Amino acid sequence: MPQQRKSMHGEWSSRWAFILAATGSAVGLGNIWKFPYITGENGGGAFVLVYLACIAIVGIPIMMAEVMLGRRGRHSPINTMRLLAQESGRSPAWQLLGWGGVLAGFIILSFYSVIAGWALAYVLEAASGAFVGGEADRIGALFGGLLGNPVTLISWHTIFMAMTVFVVARGVEKGLERAVRVLMPALFALLLLLVGYAMNSGYFTDGLAFLFKPDFSKISAEGVLIALGHAFFTLSLGMGAIMVYGAYLPQKASIATTTVTIAAADTLVALLAGMAIFPIVFANGLEPGAGPGLIFQTLPIAFGQMPGGLLFGTLFFVLLSFAAWTSGISLLEPAVAWLVENRGLSRVVATVGCGGIIWLLGLASALSFNIWSDFTLFGKTIFDNLDFLASNIMLPLGGLLIALFAAWLLPRAISHDELAMREEGTYALWLFMVRYITPVGVSLVFLNAIGLI
């Protein structure tokens, strides 16, 4: 077997640094903004159950595969796939998987940055006392006012993209580690505080019932596809973000343990967010299916009413913006790593170039919340279409190909060696999952959603 490679982009200082960075990538708007609103739109409990099943059956095995391929290849996902295909005697066309990932990353970051801009805008709103009192209609009007103003939305989108470009241009391993170590636990503590508030809202059991009592008549085939797509989205899978972070993982770190830790932390944050939000929704007579604005219309009510809400609310939106930031950089890194490797560009030039393209694409999403809101395709706005295409089609498809490559084409000696499981049985289980269960599961959901079965 060829000797192990080294990454030209550097390496994490330890296994913990990788766990922090990958958790920083996984935990973001997907957990706190997207999970509650799509759960609300898809009827609650049954959707949550399907989502949890997707994390366990599809997400964790694919995450292990992605980290494993990344560490073996030690390059950007495009080059990693090219090198590993070569090493396995397969077609160089496998590098297209890396290209698809770059495209998916661009699309996701373009709208992600717009939503992260809302979080940034809410830092100022919270700090200026705009939530005090917390009347539901006033909070709703405040959010409507933000969405209706394209200049404000684009300004915040620009600021978020600039922040993201700044970190990626410096190299992701610098600075990130220290920040994640402090701010993630703080975000977690604030979520617990919000759940505490929700417990006293008088509607906590209604919220829990909505989240955890499955009613399968409420979920459609499209809902199942959205749950699957979200398992990829929330764990940052299917486009090479985790693969490129894996490329910087020290050789001796255990992939299985780190993966399970990251997936567990990510799931916990999403469930806590749901437990905080739905009781507030029901206590204030709001609509669970209100859409992308859900957390921006509910959490300010809680902050507006609780003692110390000015401070906690400000802090919460600071931390949410930060969580979005550590996710955004992982969406950009695969493309930048490739440009540095193959085009000899400096990191700064590569990052600014990619950032500019993504910023431009983001304008379409920003405008789809106001002046272009009537422009729809398949009954969805531009934002909804970009999200659906990238999250529910491109990510699962990318994940499917990653699973097929890792399980069927990569020589078993390599995956066995990289995963280095303590128990043989664990390796056999992983192999069985990525060979059969994961591909069949993803394919069934796809076929079902397009009406073929």
Residues that bind ligand TRP (CB under 6 A): 25-26, 28-31, 108, 233-234, 236, 239, 241, 327, 330-331, 395
Q: How far is the CB of 138 from ligand TRP (least distance, A)?
A: 28
Residue 33 or residue 430: which is nearer to ligand TRP going by CB? Answer: 33
Query: Across-strand partners of 380?
Result: 377
Q: How far is the CB of 134 from ligand TRP (least distance, A)?
A: 26
Residue 39 or residue 330: which is nearer to ligand TRP going by CB? Answer: 330
Q: How far is the CB of 408 from ligand TRP (least distance, A)?
A: 23
Residue 297 or residue 327: which is nearer to ligand TRP going by CB? Answer: 327
Q: How far is the CB of 236 from ligand TRP (least distance, A)?
A: 3
Residue 76 or residue 234: which is nearer to ligand TRP going by CB? Answer: 234
Residue 140 or residue 292: which is nearer to ligand TRP going by CB? Answer: 292
234: Cβ–Cβ under 8 A, 6 or more apart, which residues?
26, 30, 31, 34, 35, 55, 266, 267, 270
Q: How far is the CB of 115 from ligand TRP (least distance, A)?
A: 9
Residue 140 or residue 274: which is nearer to ligand TRP going by CB? Answer: 274
Q: How far is the CB of 217 from ligand TRP (least distance, A)?
A: 28
Residue 59 or residue 309: which is nearer to ligand TRP going by CB? Answer: 59
Q: Could you give the C-alpha distances from 307 to 191, 203, 208, 279, in angstroms and in order?
A: 16, 19, 24, 18
Query: Across-strand partners of 377?
Result: 380
Residue type at 290 in one-letter notation: A
Sign of CA dihedral 108, 326, 259, 414: positive
Residue 102 or residue 139: which is nearer to ligand TRP going by CB? Answer: 102
Q: How far is the CB of 423 from ligand TRP (least distance, A)?
A: 29
Residue 198 or residue 331: which is nearer to ligand TRP going by CB? Answer: 331
Residue 80 or residue 284: which is nearer to ligand TRP going by CB? Answer: 80
Residue 297 or residue 392: which is nearer to ligand TRP going by CB? Answer: 392
Q: How far is the CB of 298 from ligand TRP (least distance, A)?
A: 18
Q: How far is the CB of 417 from ligand TRP (least distance, A)?
A: 27
Interatomic CA distance for residues 19 and 16, integer angstroms: 5
Interatomic CA distance for residues 291 and 314, integer angstroms: 23
Q: How far is the CB of 375 from ligand TRP (least distance, A)?
A: 25
Interatomic CA distance for residues 308 and 195, integer angstroms: 15
Instruction: Give me the residue whose beta carbon is nearest to ligand TRP.
Output: 30
Q: How far is the CB of 230 from ligand TRP (least distance, A)?
A: 9
